[in-house]
Amino acid sequence: MMESTVPSERAPNQHAQALTVVTLPFNSSVRRSPLPPPCDKVPLLHFKRKIATLGTTFKDKNALLTGVGKGSIGVEILKGLLPGGAHVVITTSRYNRATAGHYQSIYQSFGARGSALTLTVVAFNQGSKQDVEALVNYIYATLGLGLDCILPFAAVPENDREIDGLDDKSELAHRIMLVSILGAVKNKKASRHFVSRPMQAILSLSPNHGLFGNVGLSSESKVSLETLFNRWNSESWGEYGPNALDFKVINGAEGEQDLEKLGGIIDLEKVVVITGFAEVSPWGSSRTHWEMEARGEFTIKGSIEMAWLMGHIKHFDGRLKDSSLYVGLVDSKTGGPVDGKDIRSRYKEEVLSYTGVQLIEPKLFCGYDPKKKVFN
């Protein structure tokens, strides 16, 4: 019944291929059709139609997406991941205020509860081994994320280049479109002994195996990507994936029921059970406390949380004093809009003045003065 409710214009395109040892034959029976094959015959099509009707979620998923320029396929994928609640790390080869503002507007339009968007704060060249390793280290060491998905879509156009016109730009474009970034992630996971289910890599393939022409080494790059389907089995890196640690928050009776279900399946004597992980410290929550412990300063994200926690900013959805519609953060005193990237510098002095170990100020505690305590 579900298939009949999908409008024809929303019916997903389908181009499925069956993996064999050396070839990927085209399967014409699962192409887009007004009367699609039974869903049990084409599970991928069934899944895509289910997404078109019921939606999907990327909650608690971390994705790395390169090649997210204006008008690109990557930026449309970004607009699909954010509403699903994913944490997406994107890269740019031109980092400036205008670029940051562009992606901030995308997040404001498409971001949903639980989603996050991180833009690398340095220029990134996917053809540079040094840049690739620095990016992966930034994700794992600085952001503290484990990647669930990589979409390496960065590319350099090579229009009007035939075989006699190949040059250094063609070589750079070829290198960028290959997947050295997967090797860097494999090394990072191997060094941390993260051996579990493979991380998902979504590659930008193409039927252009030299058929179009005048595109430099683009077709060679696409053919090279197809070798990964076999190399995943023939080489040693297929076993490396995200951290296999399972983390779940359970409460009260629900927790007791879950533990009873686990009995006989796992050895509860060897399972780490944390009975509480919340914190209210002189530096705010456990997140902001750790930022101060590890770095000695709040990040932009931590500064926003502290400014909100201390009442300097608040979320607003409505009309400002000038009658313009606005959704976002505003200053609690003036009611004026506040740009997220300016919060750290704007409220830094006020936040630091009332965080850390503080002497009790009677005026802030309804007149309570520890110096006037009476001991019986």
Asked whether the beta carbons of 225 and 218 are under 8 A apart, the reply is no
Q: Band of the pLDDT at 347, cuts 50, 70, 90?
A: very high
Lowest mean pLDDT among 57-66, 93-102, 210-219, 240-249: 240-249
Phi/psi at 117 (nearest 5 deg)?
Answer: -130, 120
Residues 139-167: pLDDT tens digits?
888 888 888 888 888 777 777 777 777 77
Nearest CA among 89, 312, 317, 273 for reference residue 181: 89
**Mean pLDDT taken over the chain:** 75
Q: Band of the pLDDT at 273, cuts 50, 70, 90?
A: low
- What is the per-residue pLDDT for 97? 82
Question: Is a pLDDT exceeding 80 seen at residue 5?
Answer: no
Average pLDDT over residues 334-344: 90
Q: Band of the pLDDT at 7, cuts 50, 70, 90?
A: low
- What is the per-residue pLDDT for 22? 46
Question: Is a pLDDT exceeding 70 seen at residue 14?
Answer: no
Nearest CA among 150, 241, 155, 244 for reference residue 203: 150
- Say which DSSP state 278 is in: -
- What is the per-residue pLDDT for 30? 45
- What is the per-residue pLDDT for 313? 93
Lowest mean pLDDT among 209-223, 238-252, 272-286: 238-252
Question: Is a pLDDT exceeding 50 seen at residue 1?
Answer: no
Nearest CA among 248, 280, 290, 245 for reference residue 142: 290
Give the separation between CA 204 and CA 268, rounded to whole angstroms: 44
Q: Band of the pLDDT at 35, cuts 50, 70, 90?
A: very low
pTM of the model: 0.52
Q: Band of the pLDDT at 209, cuts 50, 70, 90?
A: confident
- What is the per-residue pLDDT for 210? 73
SS3 content of the chain, % helix, strand, coil (to 5): 45, 10, 45
- What is the per-residue pLDDT for 314? 92
Average pLDDT over residues 6-26: 54
CA dihedral sign, ordered 294, 298, 302, 308:
positive
